[in-house]
């Protein structure tokens, strides 16, 4: 039974139990007070799901309270890791979540091979590495990357059959204070791509900088949906993104933690001049520096705003014509393109695009009416 099937069955059982309990309570209330109207239970909002993916977004609350730091992406990732029977490969920039760390330890205890790669800057920082030290103490090998670049990936491969990826680092801040996305994808072919890239880092110690492409299938089909999958620095990811932006005919929406790539900025300006409606949200931090694309896009009349999250807006997303989504760990910068270890998905699926558009609408609305910290 694969990961998606397990998750769907669990959701169905939980929903059935809720219905049975709610029905029993409603009947009891009706018998005791027939003249009173019966209140309907609140609707349960499930994560967007298809046969091949489960998509999640963080939902920061303001003011921020530690009591609200529960559930959400950490639980979903832990459940994803808990499906492993053979192997877990994790490439993660930052990790400090106890339940994710415990899920890795338990996976090893039940016999799965667990391997981890992270960045040298993270592993060498005493404030950053307690979770990694805990894994190493349990006999899990943790490999550190190139000190001259950043191992910036945030992906997990389970049983070489399913992939978790997105913008989300596995930390409390990223889970409960920052705007982020995470997606679990059931695809052995996609998993082969991520495994091949993982092994370049874990086995061959090839991190960042010049690295030969190969070992992956950039274009694939998952459940009838066209997907492109690229890795930086070897795949010249920025060129792939620019090419897609230039094909936009109706709309481009973006959420950018860091956006300093001039070619992408040029593509947005050119498309806007051609009549494409361009809207974007920039993370506030650094958005007004001379390196950022925000000022020149704004001066050209594009609808771009600084985000309203009092912490960080950490998405790296383009949505094109309401049918294509570009997302992953890849910031829109030269460092991401030329030196960091990164991954990107380009998915041609209107349903997925619609869900990212809903997130864009939330982030854009928050930018217009920022909450207090």
Could you give the residue numbers annotated as active site? 314, 316, 321
Find, among 147, 163, 178, the residue nearest to 91 by Cα. Answer: 163
Let me know the angle formed at the C-alpha of 345 by 343 and 349, rounded to the nearest 5 degrees.
170
What distance in Å separates the CA atoms of residue 315 and residue 166, rounded to the nearest whole number?
9
> Is the separation of the CB atoms in 282 and 294 below 8 Å?
yes
> What angle do helix axes 262-273 and 237-245 make, rounded to 10 degrees?
10
Environment class of residue 139 by beta-carbon count within 10 Å: exposed (0-12), middle (13-18) or buried (19+)? exposed
User: Beta-carbon neighbour count of residue 49 at 10 Å?
Assistant: 16
Distance CA 300, CA 290 (A): 16
**Starting from the edge strand earliest in sequence, which strands make up the sheet with 303-306, in order?**
219-222, 225-232, 342-348, 324-328, 316-320, 251-256, 277-282, 303-306
Contact 361, 172 (CB under 8 A): no
- Give the C-alpha separation, 98 to 43, whole Å: 30
Asked if residues 93 and 207 have their Cβ atoms less than 8 Å apart, the reply is: no
Q: Is 151 helix (H, G, I), strand (E, B) or coil?
A: strand
For the beta sheet containing 113-118, the strands, ordered from the edge strand earlier in sequence to the opposite edge, are: 53-57, 181-186, 162-166, 154-158, 87-92, 113-118, 141-144
Taking 3-state DSSP, the helix, strand and coil percentages for the chain, each rounded to the nearest 5, stand at: 35, 25, 40
């Amino acid at each position: 039974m694969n990961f998606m099937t397990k998750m769907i069955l669990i959701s169905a059982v939980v929903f059935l139990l809720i219905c049975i309990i709610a029905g029993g309570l409603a009947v009891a209330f009706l018998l005791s007070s027939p003249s009173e109207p019966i209140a309907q239970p609140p609707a349960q909002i499930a994560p967007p799901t298809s046969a091949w993916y489960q998509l999640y977004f963080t939902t920061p609350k303001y003011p921020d309270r530690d009591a609200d730091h529960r559930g959400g992406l950490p639980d979903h990732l832990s459940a994803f890791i808990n499906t492993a029977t053979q192997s877990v490969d994790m490439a993660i920039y930052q990790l400090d979540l106890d339940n994710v760390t415990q899920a890795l330890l338990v996976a090893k205890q039940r016999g799965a091979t667990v391997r981890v790669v992270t960045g040298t800057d993270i592993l060498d920082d005493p404030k950053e590495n307690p979770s990694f030290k805990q894994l190493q103490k349990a006999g899990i090998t943790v490999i550190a990357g190139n000190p001259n670049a950043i191992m910036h990936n945030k992906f997990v491969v389970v049983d070489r059959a399913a992939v978790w990826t997105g913008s989300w680092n596995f930390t409390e801040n990223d889970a409960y204070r920052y705007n982020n996305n995470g997606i679990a994808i059931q695809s052995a072919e996609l998993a082969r791509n991520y495994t091949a890239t993982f092994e370049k880092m874990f086995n061959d110690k090839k991190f960042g900088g010049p690295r030969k492409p190969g070992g992956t299938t950039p274009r694939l089909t998952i459940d009838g949906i066209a997907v492109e999958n690229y890795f930086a620095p070897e795949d010249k990811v920025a060129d792939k993104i620019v090419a897609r932006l230039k094909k936009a005919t109706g709309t481009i929406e973006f959420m950018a933690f860091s956006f300093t790539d001039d070619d992408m900025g040029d593509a947005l300006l050119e498309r806007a001049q051609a009549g494409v409606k361009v809207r974007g949200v920039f993370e506030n931090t650094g958005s007004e520096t001379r390196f950022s694309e925000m000022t020149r896009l704004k001066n050209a009349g594009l609808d771009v705003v600084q985000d309203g999250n009092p912490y960080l807006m950490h998405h790296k997303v383009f949505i094109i014509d309401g049918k294509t989504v570009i997302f992953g760990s890849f910031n829109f910068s030269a460092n991401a393109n030329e030196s960091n270890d990164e991954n990107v998905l380009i998915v041609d699926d209107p349903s997925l695009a619609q869900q990212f558009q809903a997130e864009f609408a939330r982030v854009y609305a928050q930018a217009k009416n920022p909450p207090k910290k």
